[in-house]
Amino acid sequence: MKEKIAIQVDDLTVAYNYKPVLWDIDLVIPEGVLMAIVGPNGAGKSTLIKSILGIIKPIAGSVSIYGKPYEEQRKLVAYVPQKGSVDWDFPTTALDVIMMGTYGSLGWIKRPGQKEKKAALEALEKVGMLPFKNRQISQLSGGQQQRIFLARALVQNASIYFMDEPFQGVDASTEIAIINILKELRKAGKTLVVVHHDLQTVPEYFDWVTFLNVKKIATGPVKEIFNDTNLTKTYGINYKVAVNK
């Protein structure tokens, strides 16, 4: 199979204080995969995404998106941060938050217009939140807030999506709605990198997986590498997972 490389990470090392959070990560993510990053708490999953996106400055290493440095390829990349990373009591509406997804392509100073609003409304519709467009964001449920964040990334119309725990604290119906959108994006040829906690759903949701615990343990197709050996290596205990075949 001839595969194009979407994301390539070389020798990435990140430390907050003295202890490294990520150590010498080499990672190649082919185009068009729906990939989960799994690992225990403190394994550096969020940090990996944040340093690929330039939010955190690594000590060493480089990242390239379709063969070029990330800074030149920003427009190809969208980000869904953890829901808990912002203050939801901020005075703004659901539609307004989604409009923020268009700010990157607008650049400095230029204001969003009708075209941007239309795109935002379409994204709202896609995540099933159109009736809530004028709702103050603190009055949305946790699942609805997560959908808003997803919609904001959809508006960016990117090729690569990084998502930090999009299923955290959402109910079953939102989880299904989100995973359906992710699968749709993959079908459209997009590449998705998702920090994920629920090991049970990995084989069902994802086709690619990276095991991470400060170092990279393994990366590859779920069918080939999602097994007890790698889980045990990553989580440090003899891990048996009930995989529904």
Which residues lie near another protein (CB under 8 A)?
50, 53-55, 71, 74, 77, 79, 81, 85-87, 90-93, 97, 100, 103-104, 106-112, 136, 152
Closer residue to another protein (CB): 94 or 231: 94
Question: What is the rounded CA–CA span in Å between residue 163 and residue 36?
Answer: 10
Q: Which is nearer to another protein, 82 or 232 (CB)?
A: 82
- Expressed in angstroms, the distance from the first to the final Cα of the chain is 25
Using alpha carbons, select from 166, 203, 211, 192 the residue that is nearest to residue 38. Answer: 211
What does the DSSP 8-state code read for residue 69? E
Minimum Å gap between C-beta 96 and another protein is 8
Within 10 A of 180 (CB to CB), how many other CB atoms are there?
10
What minimum distance in Å lies between the beta carbon of 46 and another protein? Answer: 10
The rounded distance, in Å, linking the Cα atoms of 142 and 138 is 9
Two tokens, residue 205: 């949701």
* CA separation, residue 205 to residues 160, 167, 173, 199, 235 (Å): 17, 12, 15, 10, 20
CA within 13 Å, CB half, 171: 5
119, two tokens: 């795109």
* Least distance (Å) between residue 149 CB and another protein: 9
Q: How far is the CB of 81 from another protein (least distance, A)?
A: 6
CB of 17 to another protein, least distance (A): 8
11 or 72, CB closer to another protein? Answer: 72
Angle, helices 114-126 vs 142-155, to 10°: value is: 130
- Give the single-character DSSP code of 111: P
| Closest approach of another protein to the CB of residue 16, in Å | 11
